[in-house]
Amino acid sequence: MAVQIDKPPGQYQSGQAGPAASEKLGDPGWAWAAYQPDAWQPWNLAQAGHLFRRAAFGADWDQLQQALSDGPQRTIDKLLRPQANIAAFNREHDEYESSTASSTDSLRAWWLRRIIQTPHPLLEKMTLFWHSHFAANGAKVKNARLMQRHVQLLRSQALNSFRALLKAISRDPAVLIWLGAEANRKALPNENFARSLMEAFTLGAGHYTKKDVREAARAFTGWFVLRGQLRYISREHDGNVKQILGQKGNFTSDDVVRIVLEQPATSRTLVRKLYRWLICETAEPDPKLIAPLAQSFAKDYDVLKLVETMLRSNLFFSRVAYRRRIKCPVEFALGIVKGLEGVVSTTQLAQDLADLGQNLYSPPTVKGWTGGRHWINSATLVRRHNLAMALLRGSGPYANKLNPWAVAKKHGCSTPESAARFLLDLFLQGDLGPDVRDALLKKIQTPAAADGDDPAGTLRRFAHEIVTLPDFHLA
C-alpha cells in the first residue's frame, strides 16, 4: 500500500482554499498572518486534528472536543504555554531517569513514558526535533548519564534560545564524544566539531570553506572530555589570530558560536528545517516566504516565537500544510496510544520503534534521521502494520492496555456501528473519502460482525484497519 503525500486532501473542506486564498499562498504577509476561521477555512475537527498531529503526538477525544470549543487561538495558547506545572513534571521524570539510567534502553522507555503523560506535548515534540538536529548516538558515547544530560539539555532550550542551546552543545560531552572531538590539542586541532557546527548545526553546505573549519577548530583547542567530564586546559589553547567567515581576531569557542549565528545562512537554514517539521516536507518553500521569519529569528534566536508564528499562521492551516508530512515512527505509534487514552509498555515500544528505524538516543548519522519518504518502504510499512496490531490486540506484549470499544463506550457509543464512526472521527477526524468510509463501515454491519464476534474484538480489528490506512501515516 503506497503512502501518497503529494496529492491534495480529498475530503478536507477547510483545506480547499478558495481562489483568493490560493493566490495568497505565496504572499509572506498573508502566509504568516494569524489564521482566522472563515467560510473557506473554517475551524473544524479536521483542523483540530491537524494541529495536534503537528504540535503534539495526536489527541484523545476530549482534547479534540475542547479544541473545537476553544477555537484555534486559545487551543494554540494552551499548546505553547500550558497552565500545568511543567517544571515539577519534568523534575519528577528526571529523577526517575536518574535512578534507572543504567543504559540508553531504559532512557528510551522513560522518554516515551514522558511523552505519553506530559502536559506539554509541544515541548517533547521540539525536543525530538532537536534530538535529530544535534544528533548524538548513545552506542558510540557509551555513557547513559551523558546521554541523559544531553537530552535534558535539548529539552531545557527546546522552546527557548537557540543561541543558548548552541553554546551549550559546543560544550556537551556526549556530542563531542559522538563526533570524535573529545580531544582538541593546540598542536593537532580537531576539526570534527567545527565541521558539524557549520554544516549540520547552523550554516549548511556551501556557506563555509575548509579554511573556515580549520580556523574554527583552532578556536576550540583546549577543550577535552576526560572520564566523561568536560575540561578546559588553557595551555592547549591556540591563542593566535584566526580568520573565520570573514572575521579576524584572537577567537575562542564562544566567538565561533557568535560568528556562525551572525551569518544570515544560519537563520535561513533553521527556519527551513522547522518549516519542514511544522509546515510541509513535500516541497521547498519559496525563499521569499522564509525571508521574514529568518530575519526575525536572527535578532534573538527565540525558538518559541518562531514556532508560535508558524503554528498560528494562515499557511499552517492551509492545504499547503495539511497531511504534508509522513509521521515518524514515534508519531505513528503514539498517535494510536494517545487516541485510545492508554499507557503501554514503553520498554517494548522503544524496541519496536527502533525496529521501525527510530531508535531514540541513537540517531543514525551526524545529520540525524533523514525522515520524509525514508520512513516508508515495503519492510517498514509491514512493521508499522504489525506494531499497530500488537498495540490493539487484547493479549501479547502490550497486555490489553488499549481498548477501542471501552473508549468508544466511555464517550457515549452503545453499538459497534456508532463506535466505528467514533473511531473514524477520533483517528482521521472524518477526513476520508465516502467510498472508503462506507466500505469500512459495511464490515461492522455484516451478520458475522454483528452476531459471530464480540464487539471488543470487532472494534480492535476495525481500529487496526483505520490506523493502517495511508491517511493515518500522514501528519
Indicate if the pLDDT at residue 14 is higher than 50.
Answer: no
95, three cell numbers: 529523577
Indicate if the pLDDT at residue 451 is higher than 70.
Answer: no
Q: Are 325 and 281 spatial neighbours (Cβ–Cβ below 8 Å)?
A: yes
Under the banding of pLDDT at 50, 70 and 90, the label for residue 409 is: very high
pLDDT attached to residue 7: 38
Burial annotation 75-92 (CB, 10 A radius, 16+ → b, else e):
bbebbbebeeeeeebbee
Q: Which amino acid is at 355?
A: D
Distance CA 313, CA 276 (A): 15
Indicate if the pLDDT at residue 292 is higher than 90.
Answer: yes
Under the banding of pLDDT at 50, 70 and 90, the label for residue 25 is: confident
- By the 10 Å C-beta count (0-12 exposed, 13-18 middle, 19+ buried), 426 is classed as buried
Average of pLDDT values for 225-229?
96
Indicate if the pLDDT at residue 200 is higher than 70.
Answer: yes
12-26, 55-69, 83-97, 229-243: segment of lowest average pLDDT: 12-26
pLDDT attached to residue 10: 36
- Phi, psi (rounded to 5 degrees) for 348: -65, -45
Indicate if the pLDDT at residue 12 is higher than 50.
Answer: no
Q: Which amino acid is at 307?
A: V
Indicate if the pLDDT at residue 452 is higher than 60.
Answer: no
Distance CA 75, CA 85 (A): 18
Q: Which amino acid is at 293?
A: L
Distance CA 169, CA 284 (A): 28
Indicate if the pLDDT at residue 19 is higher than 80.
Answer: no
Under the banding of pLDDT at 50, 70 and 90, the label for residue 17 is: very low
Indicate if the pLDDT at residue 346 is higher than 90.
Answer: yes
Under the banding of pLDDT at 50, 70 and 90, the label for residue 11 is: very low
Indicate if the pLDDT at residue 392 is higher than 60.
Answer: yes
pLDDT attached to residue 449: 52
pLDDT attached to residue 447: 53
Computed over every residue of the chain, the mean pLDDT equals 93
pLDDT attached to residue 26: 81
Distance CA 230, CA 296 (A): 34
Among 275, 407, 384, 400, which Cα is nearest to 331's? 384
> pLDDT by residue (tens digit) across 360-373?
999 999 999 999 99
In percent, the amount of the chain with pLDDT more than 70 equals: 93
Indicate if the pLDDT at residue 1 is higher than 60.
Answer: no
Average of pLDDT values for 256-267?
98
Average of pLDDT values for 410-426?
97
Indicate if the pLDDT at residue 101 is higher than 60.
Answer: yes
24-38, 192-206, 461-475: segment of lowest average pLDDT: 24-38
Full DSSP string of 415-457: SHHHHHHHHHHHHHTT-S-HHHHHHHHHHHHSHHHHHSS-HHH
3-state secondary structure 339-380: HCCCCCCHHHHHHHHHHCCCCCCCCCCCCCCCCHHHHCCHHH
> pLDDT by residue (tens digit) across 109-153?
999 999 999 999 999 999 999 999 999 999 999 999 999 999 999
